[in-house]
């Protein structure tokens, strides 16, 4: 959400004790064009992050979940994004072989298996470089014998 977005506080929610939740409010966007695009109320949740030592602000449209649950989902989402970023960087999936759901799942699972094998080889061998260098080494020397275990 942009800093100049106008909103009004509709209701302040209870904040759980002994949690890192700083604020849990229901808001409504008040600017004319934003209110037309988003007419329903939203939740404004502020959480203190110990890892980053900063306050994180989340907007959610789910009024049923607790603020702690929403914060945990956003935290897990960040890890999932980092995982797929690593998957994209290390295993170049340039195009999917097919368009059906099962074909896409098989291709992603194959890439995941390859990534796990590469990580295992990296941890088991005496290779000191990053995983991307190991992948490049494996690709260039795919059919050449190299003793990476000693």
* Tens of pLDDT, residues 29-79: 887 666 567 788 999 999 998 888 999 999 999 999 999 999 999 888 888
pLDDT of residue 34: 63
d(CA 74, CA 32): 29
The dihedrals phi and psi of 56, each to the nearest 5 degrees, come to -100, 140
Quickly count helices (H) and strands (E) in the chain: 4, 4
pLDDT tens by residue, 68-78: 999 999 888 88
Q: Which two tokens stand for residue 118?
A: 């590469």
Q: How confident is the model at residue 90 (pLDDT cuts 50, 70, 90)?
A: low
CB 121 within 8 A of CB 134: yes
Beta strands in 30-138 (DSSP E): 42-49, 54-60
Predicted TM-score of the model (pTM): 0.56
């Amino acid at each position: 959400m942009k800093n100049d977005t106008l909103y009004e506080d509709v209701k302040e929610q209870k904040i759980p004790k002994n949690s890192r939740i700083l604020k849990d409010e229901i808001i409504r966007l008040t600017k004319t064009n934003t209110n037309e695009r988003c007419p329903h109320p939203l939740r404004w949740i502020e959480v203190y992050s110990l890892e980053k030592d900063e306050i994180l602000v989340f907007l959610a449209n789910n009024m049923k979940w607790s603020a702690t649950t929403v914060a945990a989902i956003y935290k897990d989402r960040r890890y999932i994004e980092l995982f797929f970023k690593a998957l994209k960087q290390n295993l170049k999936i340039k195009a999917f072989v097919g368009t059906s759901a099962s074909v896409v799942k098989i291709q992603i699972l194959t890439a995941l298996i390859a990534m796990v094998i590469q990580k295992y080889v990296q941890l088991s061998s005496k290779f000191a470089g990053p995983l991307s260098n190991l992948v490049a080494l494996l690709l260039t020397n795919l059919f050449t014998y190299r003793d990476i275990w000693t």
